[in-house]
Structure 1
Amino acid sequence: MSSGATIHRDTIGEAWLAVAEVILEEGVPEHYDGLPILEIEHATLVVEVPDPGDELIARFGDPARLAWMRANFVDHERVEALGGARSYASRFFDYGATGRDQVAWVIERLRKDPASRSATITTFEPLSDTSYIPCVSMLDFWVRGERSSWSSTRTASTSVQKVMATSPNSRSSCTMWRMLCSAPSALYVSS
């Protein structure tokens, strides 16, 4: 299997196209849930100007998928397309339906200790996640000098593989979904 890649680009769209190229050139054929995929073991994306309104994403991304993914990060409603799973927004701001705001916790932790290496959010809720595991499972945040950064750890997602298997432009669509899932507005993204 490919050992992955580190990709430095100015924009999310440029990083999306670059990681798609790496997947197409170096990806190893695999199967997930019985569907064919190309896979690289690890990709680290460094995006200098992360803009959720990225021109390339707006131009080539599926508008319905973009709206669906963005809603998942801001709406606290259950996501019916994922079997009624809790949205990312509910996991970030009300972890496990306990009222714990993980985003506020990370911000406060880094305010108190900018050198912290344990400012982490998890989206996995093992007591209730029985049929759906979020693709972004963990977010680590840190500060170096004047710059804040974060990385994400993600798992495979059935939705991604279904896109691979059914879309006429499947590889690009798959990578687009991964980028949106992993990089809504990050400076450093590891997926």
Structure 2
Amino acid sequence: MRHVWSAGKPADDDRGPVIEGPAVLFDIARVSGDDPIIARYGDPDRLALYRRKFSEEVVVPPFKYSYGARLAGQLGWAADLLRVKPYSKSAWISLTAPGEEYDAVPCLIGLAFRIREGALAMTATFRSQNAFTSYLNYLPLSEVHAAMAAKLGTEPGPMRVFVDVPHLYLSDTRQALEVMRPASPRPP
């Protein structure tokens, strides 16, 4: 959020005005549902909904697509490839299809898996992402990552995330600023 807030510029979006930041690439060593920021500011009901979006092969309202359906079969293909060629850089899967309806192109457009140093690294590529609610994607993605690692008999390694257009909706500004506010210093 700080990246978008500090380096972003005003832009438009179908759901209202946004602050749009420059593309960003980062690694997450370990995604945890026990994160104190998520515990304090997260929305457990929305997280449950997003977990269903990633795990079920049917479209879960209010979404227009299912990551579960888009991942079905492809994760097995990637695991099979890495079993045969554990050094491979080709275990990429696409979550888009030619001719998508314009309003149903997924934000997460691809996943890549690599076995390095005995652990399964995963890259998630997003065409766009709401920085305020990104945890709703990262926690279910960490479950996909852990399941793939278990299939391959490895530990999950880092999760690399590339976001082409990170953004914050102006309507979320108050809540985003509350999350970004530095913690009060502890009294001596």
d(CA) in 1 for partners of 2:82, 2:56 = 25
Q: Indicate if the aligned counterparts of 2:108 and 2:125 stay in contact, CA closer than 8 A.
A: yes
Unpaired segments of 5 or more residues in structure 2? 146-157, 164-188
d(CA) in 2 for partners of 1:53, 1:73 = 20
Q: Confirm whether residue 114 of structure 1 aligns to residue 86 of structure 2.
A: yes
Per the alignment, residue 98 of structure 2 pairs with: 126
Q: Indicate if the aligned counterparts of 2:82 and 2:91 stay in contact, CA closer than 8 A.
A: yes
**What secondary structure does 1:86 align onto?**
coil
Q: 1:52 to 1:88 in 2, by over 3 A?
A: farther
Q: Indicate if the aligned counterparts of 2:125 and 2:162 stay in contact, CA closer than 8 A.
A: yes
**What secondary structure does 1:177 align onto?**
coil
Per-residue deviation at 1:102?
A: 0.6
Unpaired segments of 5 or more residues in structure 1? 1-19, 94-100, 158-173
TM-score of the aligned structures, taking structure 1 as reference length: 0.67
Per the alignment, residue 177 of structure 1 pairs with: 133
Per-residue deviation at 1:151?
A: 1.3
Per-residue deviation at 1:88?
A: 0.6
Higher relative contact order (CA 8 A, sep 6+): 2
Q: Confirm whether residue 65 of structure 1 aligns to residue 46 of structure 2.
A: yes
Per the alignment, residue 13 of structure 2 pairs with: 32
Q: Confirm whether residue 86 of structure 1 aligns to residue 65 of structure 2.
A: yes
Q: Confirm whether residue 146 of structure 1 aligns to residue 118 of structure 2.
A: yes
Q: Indicate if the aligned counterparts of 2:8 and 2:20 stay in contact, CA closer than 8 A.
A: yes
- RMSD across aligned positions (CA): 2.2
TM-score of the aligned structures, taking structure 2 as reference length: 0.68
Per the alignment, residue 25 of structure 2 pairs with: 44
Q: 1:126 to 1:80 in 2, by over 3 A?
A: farther
Letter of the structure 1 residue corresponding to residue 8 of structure 2: G
Per the alignment, residue 6 of structure 1 pairs with: none
Q: Indicate if the aligned counterparts of 2:52 and 2:60 stay in contact, CA closer than 8 A.
A: no
Per the alignment, residue 167 of structure 2 pairs with: none
d(CA) in 1 for partners of 2:33, 2:76 = 21
**What secondary structure does 1:189 align onto?**
strand
How many equivalent residue pairs? Answer: 147
- Over residues 111-138 of structure 1, what are the superposed CA-to-partner deviations in whole Å (9 max), with x where a residue is unaligned? 2112211101111133554530111011
Percent of aligned pairs sharing the same letter: 27
Q: 1:34 to 1:80 in 2, by over 3 A?
A: closer
